[in-house]
Chain A
Amino acid sequence: MSALLTIDDLVVEYPGRVTVRAVDGIGLSIRPGEVLALVGESGCGKSSTARAVVGMERPRSGSVLYRGEAVPPLGLRRRPNRFTAMQMVFQDPNSSLNPRKRVGAQINDGIMAAVARGAAGSTPGEWIEAVGLSSSLLNRFPHQFSGGQRQRIAIARALAARPDLIVADEPISALDASSQAAVAGLMRRLCLDAGAGMLFISHDLSVVRVIADRTAVMYRGKIVESGRSETIWSDPLHPYTRALLSAIPHPDGRGILPAAPDLEAPASWSTVLPGALERV
Protein backbone atom coordinates (compact mmCIF):
# COMPACT_ATOMS: atom_id res chain seq x y z
CA MET A 1 0.00 0.00 0.00
CA SER A 2 1.38 3.38 -0.91
CA ALA A 3 2.08 5.86 1.86
CA LEU A 4 -0.29 8.72 2.58
CA LEU A 5 2.41 10.86 4.06
CA THR A 6 6.13 10.56 3.47
CA ILE A 7 8.62 12.66 5.39
CA ASP A 8 12.17 12.42 4.15
CA ASP A 9 15.28 13.90 5.76
CA LEU A 10 13.24 16.81 7.14
CA VAL A 11 15.17 19.69 8.71
CA VAL A 12 13.43 22.60 10.45
CA GLU A 13 15.53 25.50 11.70
CA TYR A 14 14.69 28.70 13.54
CA PRO A 15 17.16 31.42 12.64
CA GLY A 16 18.28 33.86 15.31
CA ARG A 17 21.42 34.89 17.14
CA VAL A 18 22.07 31.19 17.35
CA THR A 19 20.25 29.11 14.76
CA VAL A 20 18.22 26.41 16.45
CA ARG A 21 17.85 23.18 14.55
CA ALA A 22 14.57 21.85 15.97
CA VAL A 23 14.19 18.94 13.57
CA ASP A 24 17.40 17.33 12.41
CA GLY A 25 16.87 15.12 9.40
CA ILE A 26 14.00 12.83 10.25
CA GLY A 27 12.08 10.38 8.07
CA LEU A 28 8.58 8.98 8.71
CA SER A 29 5.71 7.56 6.73
CA ILE A 30 2.04 6.94 7.42
CA ARG A 31 -0.24 4.58 5.51
CA PRO A 32 -4.02 4.88 5.28
CA GLY A 33 -5.74 3.44 8.36
CA GLU A 34 -2.62 3.66 10.47
CA VAL A 35 -1.93 5.64 13.64
CA LEU A 36 1.67 6.74 14.04
CA ALA A 37 2.65 8.28 17.37
CA LEU A 38 5.51 10.72 17.69
CA VAL A 39 6.64 10.95 21.29
CA GLY A 40 9.32 12.85 23.14
CA GLU A 41 9.85 15.48 25.81
CA SER A 42 9.38 19.22 25.50
CA GLY A 43 11.71 20.86 23.03
CA CYS A 44 12.57 17.67 21.15
CA GLY A 45 11.04 18.95 17.90
CA LYS A 46 7.76 17.05 17.71
CA SER A 47 5.56 20.12 17.31
CA SER A 48 7.93 21.58 14.71
CA THR A 49 7.56 18.33 12.80
CA ALA A 50 3.76 18.59 12.94
CA ARG A 51 3.85 22.19 11.79
CA ALA A 52 6.12 21.32 8.89
CA VAL A 53 3.83 18.45 7.87
CA VAL A 54 0.80 20.71 7.47
CA GLY A 55 2.78 23.54 5.90
CA MET A 56 2.80 25.95 8.84
CA GLU A 57 6.58 25.82 8.93
CA ARG A 58 8.83 25.98 5.88
CA PRO A 59 11.39 23.17 6.06
CA ARG A 60 15.05 24.18 5.79
CA SER A 61 15.62 21.07 3.69
CA GLY A 62 14.13 17.66 3.10
CA SER A 63 10.63 16.94 1.91
CA VAL A 64 7.09 16.37 3.14
CA LEU A 65 4.99 14.57 0.54
CA TYR A 66 1.26 14.15 0.97
CA ARG A 67 -0.06 11.63 -1.58
CA GLY A 68 3.19 12.12 -3.46
CA GLU A 69 2.78 15.87 -3.70
CA ALA A 70 4.79 18.47 -1.77
CA VAL A 71 2.72 20.29 0.87
CA PRO A 72 2.65 24.00 -0.01
CA PRO A 73 3.34 26.52 2.76
CA LEU A 74 0.21 27.75 4.48
CA GLY A 75 -0.40 31.38 3.67
CA LEU A 76 -3.22 33.87 3.79
CA ARG A 77 -4.82 32.45 0.69
CA ARG A 78 -7.18 29.50 0.73
CA ARG A 79 -5.44 26.19 0.09
CA PRO A 80 -6.19 24.11 -2.97
CA ASN A 81 -9.21 21.96 -2.13
CA ARG A 82 -7.34 18.67 -2.25
CA PHE A 83 -5.26 19.67 0.78
CA THR A 84 -8.33 20.08 3.00
CA ALA A 85 -8.28 16.30 3.31
CA MET A 86 -5.42 16.94 5.72
CA GLN A 87 -6.75 18.20 9.06
CA MET A 88 -5.12 19.26 12.27
CA VAL A 89 -6.19 19.04 15.91
CA PHE A 90 -4.25 21.29 18.27
CA GLN A 91 -3.50 21.07 21.96
CA ASP A 92 -5.62 23.99 23.07
CA PRO A 93 -9.23 24.03 21.85
CA ASN A 94 -9.62 27.57 23.17
CA SER A 95 -7.33 28.88 20.48
CA SER A 96 -8.45 26.58 17.67
CA LEU A 97 -12.21 27.23 17.96
CA ASN A 98 -13.71 30.59 17.03
CA PRO A 99 -15.17 32.03 20.25
CA ARG A 100 -17.78 34.12 18.42
CA LYS A 101 -19.21 31.42 16.23
CA ARG A 102 -21.72 28.75 17.25
CA VAL A 103 -20.17 25.29 17.34
CA GLY A 104 -22.69 23.97 14.80
CA ALA A 105 -21.53 26.56 12.28
CA GLN A 106 -17.89 25.70 12.93
CA ILE A 107 -18.53 22.02 12.34
CA ASN A 108 -20.41 23.01 9.20
CA ASP A 109 -17.25 24.73 7.90
CA GLY A 110 -15.59 21.32 7.98
CA ILE A 111 -18.51 19.77 6.12
CA MET A 112 -18.33 22.46 3.42
CA ALA A 113 -14.64 21.70 2.92
CA ALA A 114 -15.52 18.04 2.37
CA VAL A 115 -18.32 18.90 -0.07
CA ALA A 116 -16.08 21.29 -2.02
CA ARG A 117 -13.70 18.39 -2.49
CA GLY A 118 -16.53 16.29 -3.89
CA ALA A 119 -16.99 14.15 -0.79
CA ALA A 120 -20.39 13.16 0.57
CA GLY A 121 -22.35 15.74 2.53
CA SER A 122 -23.33 15.34 6.17
CA THR A 123 -24.90 17.28 9.01
CA PRO A 124 -23.19 18.83 12.06
CA GLY A 125 -25.47 16.73 14.28
CA GLU A 126 -23.88 13.48 13.06
CA TRP A 127 -20.40 14.67 13.94
CA ILE A 128 -21.16 16.10 17.36
CA GLU A 129 -22.88 12.83 18.24
CA ALA A 130 -19.91 10.86 16.92
CA VAL A 131 -17.72 12.53 19.56
CA GLY A 132 -20.23 11.74 22.30
CA LEU A 133 -22.08 15.04 22.67
CA SER A 134 -25.75 15.80 22.11
CA SER A 135 -26.88 17.49 18.89
CA SER A 136 -29.03 19.79 21.04
CA LEU A 137 -25.78 21.63 21.90
CA LEU A 138 -25.05 22.80 18.34
CA ASN A 139 -26.46 26.27 18.97
CA ARG A 140 -24.08 26.99 21.82
CA PHE A 141 -20.84 28.93 21.75
CA PRO A 142 -17.48 27.39 22.72
CA HIS A 143 -17.35 29.14 26.13
CA GLN A 144 -20.50 27.26 27.15
CA PHE A 145 -18.59 23.98 27.17
CA SER A 146 -15.98 22.48 29.46
CA GLY A 147 -12.41 22.07 28.21
CA GLY A 148 -12.91 18.39 27.46
CA GLN A 149 -16.09 19.06 25.52
CA ARG A 150 -14.39 21.83 23.53
CA GLN A 151 -11.66 19.46 22.47
CA ARG A 152 -14.30 16.95 21.38
CA ILE A 153 -15.86 19.71 19.26
CA ALA A 154 -12.49 20.57 17.71
CA ILE A 155 -12.13 16.88 16.83
CA ALA A 156 -15.67 16.80 15.37
CA ARG A 157 -14.84 19.84 13.24
CA ALA A 158 -11.68 18.21 11.91
CA LEU A 159 -13.48 14.93 11.18
CA ALA A 160 -16.39 16.70 9.45
CA ALA A 161 -13.97 17.65 6.66
CA ARG A 162 -13.68 13.89 6.00
CA PRO A 163 -9.88 13.94 6.23
CA ASP A 164 -7.71 11.10 5.09
CA LEU A 165 -4.85 12.37 7.23
CA ILE A 166 -5.17 13.85 10.71
CA VAL A 167 -2.24 15.59 12.37
CA ALA A 168 -2.93 15.85 16.09
CA ASP A 169 -0.47 17.81 18.22
CA GLU A 170 -0.93 16.92 21.92
CA PRO A 171 -4.70 16.67 21.45
CA ILE A 172 -5.38 15.22 24.87
CA SER A 173 -2.91 16.90 27.22
CA ALA A 174 -5.35 19.71 28.07
CA LEU A 175 -7.99 17.21 29.17
CA ASP A 176 -8.70 15.72 32.56
CA ALA A 177 -6.66 12.62 33.23
CA SER A 178 -9.76 10.47 33.38
CA SER A 179 -10.94 11.47 29.91
CA GLN A 180 -7.53 11.43 28.16
CA ALA A 181 -7.51 7.73 27.38
CA ALA A 182 -11.16 7.84 26.35
CA VAL A 183 -10.73 10.76 23.92
CA ALA A 184 -7.55 9.24 22.47
CA GLY A 185 -9.41 5.95 21.94
CA LEU A 186 -12.26 7.85 20.34
CA MET A 187 -9.89 9.60 17.92
CA ARG A 188 -8.37 6.30 16.93
CA ARG A 189 -11.74 4.67 16.34
CA LEU A 190 -13.19 7.53 14.30
CA CYS A 191 -10.01 7.79 12.29
CA LEU A 192 -9.97 4.10 11.44
CA ASP A 193 -13.71 4.07 10.67
CA ALA A 194 -13.01 6.73 8.04
CA GLY A 195 -9.96 4.84 6.74
CA ALA A 196 -7.75 7.82 7.52
CA GLY A 197 -4.18 7.89 8.80
CA MET A 198 -3.15 9.84 11.88
CA LEU A 199 0.03 11.41 13.15
CA PHE A 200 -0.54 11.54 16.90
CA ILE A 201 1.90 13.66 18.83
CA SER A 202 2.14 13.23 22.57
CA HIS A 203 4.50 13.23 25.50
CA ASP A 204 2.37 10.64 27.27
CA LEU A 205 3.70 7.22 26.42
CA SER A 206 1.10 5.26 28.30
CA VAL A 207 -1.69 6.67 26.12
CA VAL A 208 0.31 6.19 22.95
CA ARG A 209 0.82 2.57 23.75
CA VAL A 210 -2.89 1.82 23.60
CA ILE A 211 -3.82 3.83 20.53
CA ALA A 212 -0.86 3.85 18.10
CA ASP A 213 0.08 1.08 15.69
CA ARG A 214 3.60 2.42 15.36
CA THR A 215 5.62 4.76 17.55
CA ALA A 216 8.60 7.00 16.85
CA VAL A 217 10.61 8.33 19.80
CA MET A 218 12.22 11.70 19.22
CA TYR A 219 15.14 13.18 21.13
CA ARG A 220 16.89 16.46 20.32
CA GLY A 221 15.50 16.69 16.80
CA LYS A 222 16.27 13.11 15.82
CA ILE A 223 14.29 9.90 15.87
CA VAL A 224 16.17 7.53 18.15
CA GLU A 225 13.78 4.59 18.05
CA SER A 226 10.78 3.63 15.95
CA GLY A 227 8.64 0.64 15.15
CA ARG A 228 5.59 -1.25 16.32
CA SER A 229 4.27 0.31 19.56
CA GLU A 230 4.06 -2.99 21.41
CA THR A 231 7.65 -3.90 20.46
CA ILE A 232 9.00 -0.57 21.66
CA TRP A 233 7.02 -0.75 24.86
CA SER A 234 7.92 -4.29 25.80
CA ASP A 235 11.51 -4.30 24.55
CA PRO A 236 13.00 -0.80 24.20
CA LEU A 237 16.50 -0.81 22.70
CA HIS A 238 17.69 2.79 22.78
CA PRO A 239 18.97 4.12 26.15
CA TYR A 240 16.74 7.19 25.86
CA THR A 241 13.60 5.15 25.25
CA ARG A 242 14.51 2.99 28.21
CA ALA A 243 14.99 6.02 30.48
CA LEU A 244 11.71 7.50 29.27
CA LEU A 245 9.74 4.32 29.88
CA SER A 246 11.21 3.63 33.29
CA ALA A 247 10.49 7.21 34.45
CA ILE A 248 6.74 6.69 34.15
CA PRO A 249 5.16 6.14 37.57
CA HIS A 250 2.56 3.37 37.60
CA PRO A 251 -0.72 3.65 39.50
CA ASP A 252 -0.26 0.28 41.15
CA GLY A 253 -0.41 1.51 44.75
CA ARG A 254 2.96 -0.01 45.60
CA GLY A 255 4.73 3.25 46.41
CA ILE A 256 7.58 2.65 44.00
CA LEU A 257 9.47 5.75 42.88
CA PRO A 258 10.21 5.70 39.14
CA ALA A 259 13.86 5.62 38.10
CA ALA A 260 15.23 9.15 37.79
CA PRO A 261 17.97 9.72 35.24
CA ASP A 262 21.03 11.83 36.09
CA LEU A 263 20.57 15.59 36.18
CA GLU A 264 22.83 15.95 33.14
CA ALA A 265 21.45 14.08 30.15
CA PRO A 266 23.72 11.09 29.52
CA ALA A 267 25.66 11.19 26.25
CA SER A 268 24.29 7.76 25.39
CA TRP A 269 20.87 9.34 24.76
CA SER A 270 22.23 11.04 21.67
CA THR A 271 23.80 7.96 20.15
CA VAL A 272 22.43 6.56 16.93
CA LEU A 273 21.40 2.93 17.13
CA PRO A 274 20.47 1.76 13.63
CA GLY A 275 19.00 -1.43 15.12
CA ALA A 276 16.47 0.62 17.10
CA LEU A 277 14.89 2.10 13.99
CA GLU A 278 11.99 0.65 11.99
CA ARG A 279 11.48 -2.25 14.39
CA VAL A 280 8.71 -4.73 13.68
Chain B
Amino acid sequence: MSVPVLQIDGLTIGFGATAVVRGVSLDLRAGRVQGLAGESGSGKTVTAMSVLGLLPRTATVTGSIRLGETELVGLRRRELSAVRGRRVAMVFQDPSASLHPQLTVGHQLTDHVRRHLKLSKAAARSHAVELLARVRVPDPGNALGRYPHQFSGGQRQRIAIAIALACDPEVLLADEPTTALDVTVQAGILHLLRDLAIERNLAVLLVTHDLGVMSAIADDVAVMRHGLIVESGTREQIFLAPSHEYTRALLAAMPDSAPAVRADAGADASALDSPDEEGTS
Protein backbone atom coordinates (compact mmCIF):
# COMPACT_ATOMS: atom_id res chain seq x y z
CA MET B 1 0.00 0.00 0.00
CA SER B 2 1.12 3.57 -0.66
CA VAL B 3 2.96 5.69 1.91
CA PRO B 4 0.46 7.52 4.13
CA VAL B 5 0.02 11.23 3.48
CA LEU B 6 -0.87 11.91 7.10
CA GLN B 7 0.22 9.69 9.97
CA ILE B 8 -1.36 10.07 13.38
CA ASP B 9 0.58 8.07 15.94
CA GLY B 10 -0.14 7.65 19.65
CA LEU B 11 -2.17 10.86 19.76
CA THR B 12 -3.34 11.76 23.26
CA ILE B 13 -5.38 14.88 23.98
CA GLY B 14 -6.31 16.02 27.45
CA PHE B 15 -8.31 18.84 28.96
CA GLY B 16 -7.07 19.27 32.52
CA ALA B 17 -6.94 15.85 34.11
CA THR B 18 -9.34 14.26 31.59
CA ALA B 19 -7.93 12.52 28.54
CA VAL B 20 -10.50 12.72 25.75
CA VAL B 21 -8.31 11.04 23.13
CA ARG B 22 -6.05 8.23 24.34
CA GLY B 23 -3.34 6.95 22.08
CA VAL B 24 -5.08 7.15 18.70
CA SER B 25 -3.19 6.05 15.60
CA LEU B 26 -4.51 6.49 12.07
CA ASP B 27 -3.00 6.63 8.58
CA LEU B 28 -4.57 8.65 5.78
CA ARG B 29 -3.65 7.64 2.25
CA ALA B 30 -3.99 9.54 -1.01
CA GLY B 31 -7.22 8.88 -2.89
CA ARG B 32 -8.78 7.03 0.01
CA VAL B 33 -11.50 7.94 2.48
CA GLN B 34 -10.70 7.01 6.08
CA GLY B 35 -13.87 6.96 8.18
CA LEU B 36 -13.92 7.73 11.89
CA ALA B 37 -17.15 6.57 13.54
CA GLY B 38 -18.42 6.88 17.08
CA GLU B 39 -21.03 8.53 19.25
CA SER B 40 -20.95 12.10 20.49
CA GLY B 41 -18.25 12.54 23.10
CA SER B 42 -16.14 9.67 21.77
CA GLY B 43 -13.34 12.06 20.74
CA LYS B 44 -13.66 11.85 16.97
CA THR B 45 -14.10 15.58 16.33
CA VAL B 46 -11.28 16.51 18.74
CA THR B 47 -9.01 14.12 16.84
CA ALA B 48 -9.81 15.83 13.53
CA MET B 49 -9.45 19.33 15.01
CA SER B 50 -6.03 18.52 16.48
CA VAL B 51 -4.61 17.95 13.00
CA LEU B 52 -5.11 21.64 12.23
CA GLY B 53 -4.24 22.82 15.72
CA LEU B 54 -7.80 24.05 16.17
CA LEU B 55 -8.08 23.00 19.82
CA PRO B 56 -8.41 25.52 22.64
CA ARG B 57 -5.18 26.51 24.39
CA THR B 58 -6.16 24.54 27.47
CA ALA B 59 -5.77 21.27 25.56
CA THR B 60 -2.58 19.28 26.01
CA VAL B 61 -1.59 17.28 22.93
CA THR B 62 1.05 14.57 22.92
CA GLY B 63 1.97 11.98 20.34
CA SER B 64 2.68 12.65 16.71
CA ILE B 65 0.81 13.89 13.63
CA ARG B 66 3.09 13.80 10.61
CA LEU B 67 2.17 15.42 7.30
CA GLY B 68 4.87 14.18 4.95
CA GLU B 69 8.06 15.46 6.59
CA THR B 70 6.31 17.99 8.82
CA GLU B 71 5.47 17.23 12.44
CA LEU B 72 2.23 19.09 13.25
CA VAL B 73 2.09 18.54 17.00
CA GLY B 74 3.72 21.47 18.74
CA LEU B 75 4.01 23.52 15.55
CA ARG B 76 4.00 27.28 16.10
CA ARG B 77 1.09 29.39 14.88
CA ARG B 78 3.02 30.89 11.97
CA GLU B 79 4.17 27.52 10.73
CA LEU B 80 0.69 26.09 11.19
CA SER B 81 -0.86 28.81 9.06
CA ALA B 82 1.27 27.65 6.14
CA VAL B 83 -0.40 24.25 6.50
CA ARG B 84 -3.97 25.29 7.27
CA GLY B 85 -6.07 25.63 4.15
CA ARG B 86 -2.98 25.02 2.02
CA ARG B 87 -1.97 21.42 2.66
CA VAL B 88 -4.76 20.37 5.02
CA ALA B 89 -8.29 21.75 4.63
CA MET B 90 -11.46 21.17 6.59
CA VAL B 91 -15.20 21.02 5.93
CA PHE B 92 -17.53 21.35 8.90
CA GLN B 93 -21.04 20.17 9.71
CA ASP B 94 -22.91 23.42 9.35
CA PRO B 95 -22.02 25.52 6.30
CA SER B 96 -24.07 28.44 7.57
CA ALA B 97 -21.70 28.62 10.53
CA SER B 98 -18.46 28.02 8.63
CA LEU B 99 -19.11 30.57 5.86
CA HIS B 100 -18.85 34.26 6.73
CA PRO B 101 -22.36 35.71 6.36
CA GLN B 102 -21.19 39.22 5.46
CA LEU B 103 -18.60 38.39 2.83
CA THR B 104 -19.38 37.40 -0.73
CA VAL B 105 -18.71 33.87 -1.86
CA GLY B 106 -16.11 35.25 -4.25
CA HIS B 107 -14.26 36.99 -1.41
CA GLN B 108 -14.18 33.79 0.65
CA LEU B 109 -13.06 31.71 -2.32
CA THR B 110 -10.18 33.95 -3.40
CA ASP B 111 -8.82 35.38 -0.15
CA HIS B 112 -6.73 32.40 0.94
CA VAL B 113 -5.93 31.42 -2.65
CA ARG B 114 -4.24 34.76 -3.28
CA ARG B 115 -2.36 34.53 -0.02
CA HIS B 116 -1.19 30.93 -0.29
CA LEU B 117 -0.72 30.58 -4.04
CA LYS B 118 0.24 34.22 -4.75
CA LEU B 119 -2.23 34.49 -7.61
CA SER B 120 -3.32 37.76 -9.19
CA LYS B 121 -6.87 38.96 -8.61
CA ALA B 122 -7.98 37.93 -12.09
CA ALA B 123 -6.32 34.53 -11.90
CA ALA B 124 -7.83 33.86 -8.48
CA ARG B 125 -11.23 34.80 -9.84
CA SER B 126 -11.12 32.45 -12.78
CA HIS B 127 -9.79 29.73 -10.47
CA ALA B 128 -12.81 30.34 -8.21
CA VAL B 129 -15.25 30.08 -11.12
CA GLU B 130 -13.70 26.77 -12.14
CA LEU B 131 -14.00 25.43 -8.61
CA LEU B 132 -17.64 26.45 -8.26
CA ALA B 133 -18.40 24.81 -11.57
CA ARG B 134 -16.65 21.65 -10.39
CA VAL B 135 -18.70 21.41 -7.20
CA ARG B 136 -21.79 22.09 -9.37
CA VAL B 137 -22.96 25.39 -7.97
CA PRO B 138 -25.32 26.77 -10.63
CA ASP B 139 -24.20 29.89 -12.53
CA PRO B 140 -20.71 30.09 -10.96
CA GLY B 141 -19.80 33.46 -12.53
CA ASN B 142 -22.72 35.17 -10.84
CA ALA B 143 -22.40 33.18 -7.63
CA LEU B 144 -19.12 34.94 -6.79
CA GLY B 145 -20.91 38.21 -6.10
CA ARG B 146 -23.57 36.68 -3.89
CA TYR B 147 -23.71 36.07 -0.14
CA PRO B 148 -24.05 32.70 1.64
CA HIS B 149 -27.68 33.31 2.69
CA GLN B 150 -28.68 33.49 -0.95
CA PHE B 151 -27.89 29.80 -1.39
CA SER B 152 -29.64 26.66 -0.15
CA GLY B 153 -28.04 24.49 2.54
CA GLY B 154 -26.74 21.96 0.03
CA GLN B 155 -25.27 24.67 -2.21
CA ARG B 156 -23.62 26.28 0.82
CA GLN B 157 -21.93 23.00 1.67
CA ARG B 158 -20.78 22.74 -1.95
CA ILE B 159 -19.30 26.23 -1.63
CA ALA B 160 -17.57 25.26 1.63
CA ILE B 161 -16.07 22.27 -0.16
CA ALA B 162 -14.90 24.51 -3.01
CA ILE B 163 -13.22 26.84 -0.49
CA ALA B 164 -11.52 23.87 1.18
CA LEU B 165 -10.19 22.60 -2.14
CA ALA B 166 -9.14 25.97 -3.52
CA CYS B 167 -5.43 25.61 -2.61
CA ASP B 168 -5.30 22.02 -3.78
CA PRO B 169 -4.66 20.42 -0.37
CA GLU B 170 -3.30 16.93 0.20
CA VAL B 171 -5.63 16.18 3.09
CA LEU B 172 -9.32 16.99 3.54
CA LEU B 173 -10.85 16.69 7.01
CA ALA B 174 -14.65 16.39 6.80
CA ASP B 175 -16.45 16.56 10.15
CA GLU B 176 -20.06 15.38 9.76
CA PRO B 177 -20.21 17.07 6.32
CA THR B 178 -23.75 15.90 5.52
CA THR B 179 -25.37 15.71 8.95
CA ALA B 180 -27.14 19.05 8.63
CA LEU B 181 -28.49 18.24 5.17
CA ASP B 182 -31.63 16.57 3.88
CA VAL B 183 -31.19 13.03 2.68
CA THR B 184 -31.65 13.82 -1.04
CA VAL B 185 -29.12 16.66 -0.76
CA GLN B 186 -26.78 14.48 1.28
CA ALA B 187 -26.66 11.93 -1.52
CA GLY B 188 -25.36 14.59 -3.92
CA ILE B 189 -22.64 15.74 -1.49
CA LEU B 190 -21.53 12.13 -0.93
CA HIS B 191 -21.12 11.65 -4.69
CA LEU B 192 -19.11 14.86 -4.86
CA LEU B 193 -16.77 13.91 -1.98
CA ARG B 194 -16.18 10.45 -3.41
CA ASP B 195 -15.37 11.84 -6.88
CA LEU B 196 -13.10 14.57 -5.54
CA ALA B 197 -11.10 12.13 -3.40
CA ILE B 198 -10.34 10.08 -6.49
CA GLU B 199 -9.76 12.78 -9.09
CA ARG B 200 -7.59 14.98 -6.82
CA ASN B 201 -5.88 12.11 -5.06
CA LEU B 202 -7.03 13.55 -1.74
CA ALA B 203 -6.58 11.79 1.56
CA VAL B 204 -9.95 12.27 3.27
CA LEU B 205 -10.75 11.87 6.96
CA LEU B 206 -14.52 11.48 7.24
CA VAL B 207 -15.86 11.95 10.76
CA THR B 208 -19.47 10.85 11.09
CA HIS B 209 -21.82 9.05 13.44
CA ASP B 210 -23.98 7.98 10.49
CA LEU B 211 -23.03 4.44 9.55
CA GLY B 212 -25.07 4.66 6.35
CA VAL B 213 -22.91 7.56 5.17
CA MET B 214 -19.82 5.69 6.33
CA SER B 215 -20.77 2.60 4.38
CA ALA B 216 -21.42 4.65 1.25
CA ILE B 217 -18.06 6.36 0.85
CA ALA B 218 -15.43 5.21 3.38
CA ASP B 219 -12.71 2.81 2.22
CA ASP B 220 -11.41 2.20 5.72
CA VAL B 221 -13.23 2.65 9.00
CA ALA B 222 -12.06 3.20 12.58
CA VAL B 223 -14.55 3.07 15.44
CA MET B 224 -13.90 5.30 18.45
CA ARG B 225 -15.27 5.06 21.96
CA HIS B 226 -14.22 6.97 25.07
CA GLY B 227 -11.16 8.33 23.28
CA LEU B 228 -9.90 4.96 22.07
CA ILE B 229 -10.06 3.31 18.68
CA VAL B 230 -11.78 0.05 19.56
CA GLU B 231 -11.67 -1.40 16.07
CA SER B 232 -10.34 -0.45 12.66
CA GLY B 233 -10.13 -2.11 9.30
CA THR B 234 -11.47 -1.99 5.78
CA ARG B 235 -15.11 -1.07 5.26
CA GLU B 236 -16.01 -4.66 4.51
CA GLN B 237 -14.31 -5.95 7.65
CA ILE B 238 -16.04 -3.44 9.92
CA PHE B 239 -19.53 -3.78 8.45
CA LEU B 240 -19.63 -7.41 7.49
CA ALA B 241 -17.44 -9.02 10.12
CA PRO B 242 -17.12 -6.66 13.10
CA SER B 243 -15.01 -8.25 15.79
CA HIS B 244 -15.54 -5.79 18.64
CA GLU B 245 -18.71 -6.00 20.69
CA TYR B 246 -19.20 -2.22 20.59
CA THR B 247 -19.07 -2.12 16.78
CA ARG B 248 -21.68 -4.85 16.69
CA ALA B 249 -23.89 -2.92 19.14
CA LEU B 250 -23.59 0.25 17.01
CA LEU B 251 -24.57 -1.63 13.87
CA ALA B 252 -27.46 -3.33 15.64
CA ALA B 253 -28.81 0.06 16.76
CA MET B 254 -29.34 1.16 13.14
CA PRO B 255 -33.05 0.85 12.42
CA ASP B 256 -32.76 -0.65 8.96
CA SER B 257 -30.20 -3.25 9.91
CA ALA B 258 -32.50 -4.62 12.57
CA PRO B 259 -36.14 -4.60 11.40
CA ALA B 260 -37.07 -6.63 14.48
CA VAL B 261 -36.59 -3.73 16.90
CA ARG B 262 -40.20 -2.67 16.54
CA ALA B 263 -41.56 -4.48 19.56
CA ASP B 264 -38.64 -4.19 21.94
CA ALA B 265 -36.37 -1.43 20.68
CA GLY B 266 -35.61 -0.51 24.28
CA ALA B 267 -33.68 -3.71 24.85
CA ASP B 268 -30.98 -2.89 22.32
CA ALA B 269 -30.04 0.24 24.16
CA SER B 270 -28.61 -1.55 27.17
CA ALA B 271 -25.33 -2.39 25.46
CA LEU B 272 -24.86 1.27 24.57
CA ASP B 273 -26.14 2.91 27.74
CA SER B 274 -22.71 3.32 29.13
CA PRO B 275 -20.81 5.75 31.41
CA ASP B 276 -21.26 8.65 28.99
CA GLU B 277 -25.03 8.37 29.33
CA GLU B 278 -24.64 8.97 33.05
CA GLY B 279 -25.33 12.45 34.36
CA THR B 280 -22.38 14.79 34.55
CA SER B 281 -23.05 16.15 37.99
Contact = CB atoms under 8 A, between A and B. Distances in A.
**Size category of the binding interface on chain A:** 35 or more
A148 B277 contact: yes
B186 A247 contact: yes
B216 A255 contact: yes
Contacts of B39: 176-178
Contact of A252 (B187, B239, B268, B281): B239
Interface in B252-278: 253-259, 261-266, 268-269, 272-273, 276-278
A211 B214 contact: no
Given A132-B266, A182-B269, A250-B212, A255 B217 contact: yes
Given A145-B280, A177-B250, 11 more contacts: A146-B280, A147-B40, A177-B254, A186-B266, A188-B262, A189-B264, A210-B255, A244-B184, A251-B239, A252-B257, A257-B187
A260 B261 contact: no
A279 interface: no
B97 interface: no
A210 B262 contact: yes
B190 A258 contact: yes
14 contacts: A41-B182, A132-B269, A149-B277, A149-B279, A178-B39, A178-B250, A203-B183, A247-B187, A253-B215, A253-B235, A255-B235, A258-B216, A259-B187, A263-B138
Interface of B: 39-40, 136, 138, 153, 182-188, 190-191, 194, 209-219, 235-236, 238-240, 249-251, 253-259, 261-266, 268-269, 272-273, 276-281
A261 B235 CA distance: 25
A41 B216 CA distance: 21
Contacts of A19: none
B261 A251 contact: no
Contact of B210 (A149, A177, A205): A177
B239 A176 contact: no
A243 interface: yes
A87 B197 CA distance: 48
A248 B212 contact: yes
Contact of B261 (A41, A145, A210, A256): A210
Contacts of A263: 136, 138, 188
Given A206-B255, A249-B190, A257-B187, A181 B268 contact: yes
Nearest to A131: B266
A244 B182 CA distance: 9
A260 B40 contact: no
Nearest to A264: B138
Contacts of A258: 183, 186-187, 190, 216
Given A179-B253, A181-B254, A206-B255, A251 B265 contact: no
Contact of B215 (A148, A181, A251): A251
Contacts of A181: 253-255, 258, 261, 265, 268
A144 interface: yes
A186 B265 contact: yes
A209 interface: yes
